[in-house]
Amino acid sequence: MTAPPSSDANMRRVLAMYGPAVFAGAFAVRATDPVVVDIATDFGTTAAQVALLGTAFTLPFALVQPILGPVADSVGKRRIVSICVVLLAVMLALAATAASLGWLMAFRALSGAAAGGMMPLTLAIMADAVPLKDRQVALSRMLVFGISGQIAGGAIAGPVAAMFGWRGMLAFCAIAAVVGAATLLLAARRATPEPVTRYDPVVAAKRYRSILANPSAIPLYLTVAAEGGLVFGSFPFLAPLMLGRGIGGTTEAGLAIGAFGIGGLAYAAMARPLLARFGQARVVQIGGVVGALALLGFALAPAFWVMAVAGFLLGIAFYMIHNAIQVRATELSPQFRGSAVSLHAFSFFSGQSLGPILFGLGDVTVGLGVSLAAAAVLLLALAWMLARRPA
């Protein structure tokens, strides 16, 4: 009798199938943040207006989650991921040809909706494949693909834009999505067929009610929404901030955002020993302290290297906090895990979509430095509140 695959074998199988698609989705998220000034110049508008491209991507990403989750639970998570990565490639290619800021906003919004089928559902797939005792490490490995995409999206946007323009950067994103789609579709030919049941919106609504009836659900979803806004809301403003201080521009802002991704990779490498030594709650608390220091670094940075170090530390801190939230979200409703993780993604990206708006308001009222300092205090408080709640 053949022994069932081990947790590590299941983890590697899921990573090989879905990792490139996750990379493509993450690659597209931050692609326009470092080139805000370039797009504003091209279309004759302000950086503050172009910064809303971040919201244009993340808000549809969030809004599609309550639909994608129950549909995936009914017709198969792999089918939905496959469809979404193909749509992502098409929408990114159209965004690269946008004739106006309005069309670019529209195609970024459709790209965000398509990308909504990448990371959230693959996390649910990984949670289905790996038992709880190994899940936090397994999810951190899947995050490596998302983090690598963020590194690429942030770090190469400046150099690529310098050579091919911001349109060239979006074309690179479309190519990455094509590779992700091809990898998944080829691997799916050898995979076990997924069962299909009829999608019923009434049943979907009952699932959501059962998930939200869990007393841990609403506090957890509010926490991840706040985290998304506090950490990512400032990213579109880093280039204008650095230009104003004379410490860099588009390329340097991209490198600072890329450093965030490198920090995430550093956490993924340290996740197992950190959790074994300190436990989940203490790791979250440490993440809150490091994240607050990083945001203060952005607020006060007198030189580019300080921005880069702050970005690196913020990446470590974010994943120390966020990984714990993700694991808890996968256990809110094991029976309807796709729906539970989709609600988690809805909350997280709703927070991300509001973040640039709130930082923009802070910039014109009290200044970006003060806004970043306030975010540092709030992130620290959020991490300590999360750590005190039982896992």
Please report the sign of the dihedral spanned by the C-alpha atoms of residue 104, residue 236, residue 326, residue 204. negative
Name the DSSP class of 99: S
Domains of the chain: 7-388 (1.20.1250.20)
pLDDT at residue 282, rounded to an integer: 92
Question: Which structure tokens are listed for 308?
Answer: 């880069």
- Apex 282 CA angle, 130 and 216, nearest 5: 60
Residues 67 and 36: their CA atoms lie apart, in Å, by 31
pLDDT at residue 1, rounded to an integer: 41
Mean of the pLDDT values across residues 57-74? 82
Closest CA to 22 of 109, 124, 169: 124
Q: Is the pLDDT of residue 2 over 50?
A: no
Q: Is the pLDDT of residue 348 over 90?
A: no
pLDDT at residue 154, rounded to an integer: 67
The predicted-structure confidence for 170-216, as pLDDT tens digits, reads as follows 999 999 999 999 999 888 777 777 766 676 777 778 888 888 888 88
Band (pLDDT 50/70/90 cuts) for residue 110 is very high
Letter string b/e over residues 18-34, b meaning 16 or more CB atoms within 10 A of that residue's CB: bbbbbbbbbbbbbbbbb
Residues 242 and 195: their CA atoms lie apart, in Å, by 52
pTM of the model: 0.71
- For 55-69, 140-154, 359-373, which range has the lowest pLDDT when averaged over its residues? 140-154
Closest CA to 85 of 219, 205, 184, 212: 184
Residues 17 and 192: their CA atoms lie apart, in Å, by 13
Q: Is the pLDDT of residue 255 over 90?
A: no
Average per-residue pLDDT for the chain: 85
Q: Is the separation of the CB atoms in 27 and 111 below 8 Å?
A: no
Closest CA to 374 of 263, 230, 254, 259: 230
pLDDT at residue 272, rounded to an integer: 81
Q: Is the pLDDT of residue 303 over 90?
A: yes
- Residues 269, 273, 274, 276, Cα dihedral to 10°: 150
pLDDT at residue 391, rounded to an integer: 56
pLDDT at residue 388, rounded to an integer: 84
- For 2-16, 52-66, 172-186, 260-274, which range has the lowest pLDDT when averaged over its residues? 2-16
Higher pLDDT, 291 or 334: 291
Written as one string, the DSSP assignment of 3-48 is: PPPPHHHHHHHHHHHHHHHHHHHHHHHTTTGGGHHHHHHHHT--HH
Which among 33-42, 129-138, 231-240, 282-291 has the top mean pLDDT? 282-291
Question: Which structure tokens are listed for 212?
Answer: 């939200």
Residues 195 and 207: their CA atoms lie apart, in Å, by 19
Mean of the pLDDT values across residues 223-239? 89
**Residue 194: CB partners within 8 Å, gap ≥ 6?**
75, 76, 77, 78, 79
Share of the chain above pLDDT 90, in %: 32
Q: Classify residue 237 as exposed, middle or buried by CB count within 10 Å of its CB (0-12, 13-18, 19+).
A: buried
Q: How far is CA 276 from CA 46, 139, 144, in A?
A: 48, 16, 20
Q: Classify residue 48 as exposed, middle or buried by CB count within 10 Å of its CB (0-12, 13-18, 19+).
A: middle
Q: How far is CA 3 from CA 6, 9, in A?
A: 9, 12
Please report the sign of the dihedral spanned by the C-alpha atoms of residue 50, residue 243, residue 301, residue 156. positive
Residues 295 and 303: their CA atoms lie apart, in Å, by 15
pLDDT at residue 196, rounded to an integer: 67
Q: How far is CA 6 from CA 145, 273, 337, in A?
A: 22, 21, 21
pLDDT at residue 101, rounded to an integer: 93
Closest CA to 72 of 380, 358, 389, 342: 342
The predicted-structure confidence for 113-159, as pLDDT tens digits, reads as follows 999 888 778 878 887 888 777 777 777 778 778 877 877 776 777 77
